[in-house]
Structure 1
Amino acid sequence: MTAVLVAHAGKTGGTREIAEVVSQELRALGHTVDTRDAADVADVSEYSAVVVGSALYYSRWRPSAVRLLQRNVAALRERQVWLFHSGPCGPGASLAHVSLPASVALLAASVDAERTTTFGGRLDPTLVRGILPRLMARGPRAGDFRDWPRIRTWARDVGHHVSADVSL
């Protein structure tokens, strides 16, 4: 059994819900999993593997997810790391691949993270704040574009690759 951290960062709960599903799938494969808000993670040393997910806002990761990676670079280099982000909305969102922001791409490379996966997001007009997000939430980008079967398949793939061989 392997201890896995699934950390998430978002504004309206959509990325947290993805992290919870990822955690369920990992537990179903026999892993011990903690699901935590990235802002609440100071240290990853008790985990053999780490999954970090962030919502994308204007092509940027949430600051708390970036800080988690920055604070733990040395420890993450010794662990298996998977990254995902969610956020594309609208037709075709579940098939979109969004590149990591440059600063996060550098961090991902420095910890030898697996290729980042992009999941469609959720844009709920009742949860957004600000003029631009509200305008976007009224158009074809409004709705829930998360592909739950794809998320579960990705999580199971991660779970099959998590190894107890990581030295702590």
Structure 2
Amino acid sequence: MPARVLVVYGTTNGSTARIAETIAEVLRKKGRPTEVVPAPSVTNVESYDALVVGGALYGGRWHKDARRFVRRHGRALAGRPLWLFSSGPLDASATEREIPPVYGVRRVMARLRAREHVTFGGCLELGAKGYAARHIVSSGKGGDFRDLDQIEAWAAHIGTELTSGGPAR
């Protein structure tokens, strides 16, 4: 039976949700039963064999819902294959080079022995919630910097690792 995967995300304006949905679509195409759920809605992870957890970056911190999720489910996550992602740079930097995880995510990676982390470009467009977000958009620095090819390639990599058993934990 193929590994069941849960993709969890924390987002304010929906950009990270779209990344999570893209990851799930690719995993499903690779034959992995996959669910996508906002972090606050998850009550139990026991029925999943692997997880992908993502959060938007705000002020150098992972989204509060992603942080709370990994704290609340830490014990269960530590015993499963786990991948993490962040979304946030409002420029092409995430496509041009690897961006290391922010401090809090590095700590989560070490504590839960996550297999990998990647930072994807973010998206902030007209109608964004929050004063800072609206200010960024109104100053002309918003836009959609998500690279769907990059996201799909990373998700395919996860699917391959699940098939091959991936690196030893």
Question: Would you say same fold, with TM above 0.5?
Answer: yes
Which residue does 2:111 correspond to in 1? 110
Distance of 1:114 and 1:22 partners within structure 2: 16
C-alpha contact 1:56 1:85 (8 A) present in aligned 2? yes
In structure 2, the gaps of 5 or more residues are none
Which residue does 2:135 correspond to in 1? 135
139 and 114 in structure 1: CA distance in 2 versus 1, 3 angstrom threshold: farther
Q: Structure 1 length normalisation: TM-score?
A: 0.89
Amino acid at match of 2:27: L
Distance of 1:106 and 1:3 partners within structure 2: 26
RMSD: 2.0
C-alpha contact 1:96 1:119 (8 A) present in aligned 2? no
Percent of matched pairs sharing the same residue: 34
Higher relative contact order (CA closer than 8 Å, sequence separation 6+): 1
SS of the equivalent of 2:47 reads coil
71 and 128 in structure 1: CA distance in 2 versus 1, 3 angstrom threshold: closer
Shift of 1:92: 3.1
- TM-superposition CA deviations, 1:59-109 (whole Å, max 9, x none): 111111111111122111210000001010024343354443333322221
C-alpha contact 2:90 2:144 (8 A) present in aligned 1? yes
45 and 56 in structure 1: CA distance in 2 versus 1, 3 angstrom threshold: same
C-alpha contact 2:16 2:56 (8 A) present in aligned 1? yes
Which residue does 2:74 correspond to in 1? 73
In structure 1, the gaps of 5 or more residues are none
- TM-superposition CA deviations, 1:123-162 (whole Å, max 9, x none): 10222331x3222213453110000001000000011112
Aligned residues: 165
Amino acid at match of 2:57: L
Q: Structure 2 length normalisation: TM-score?
A: 0.89
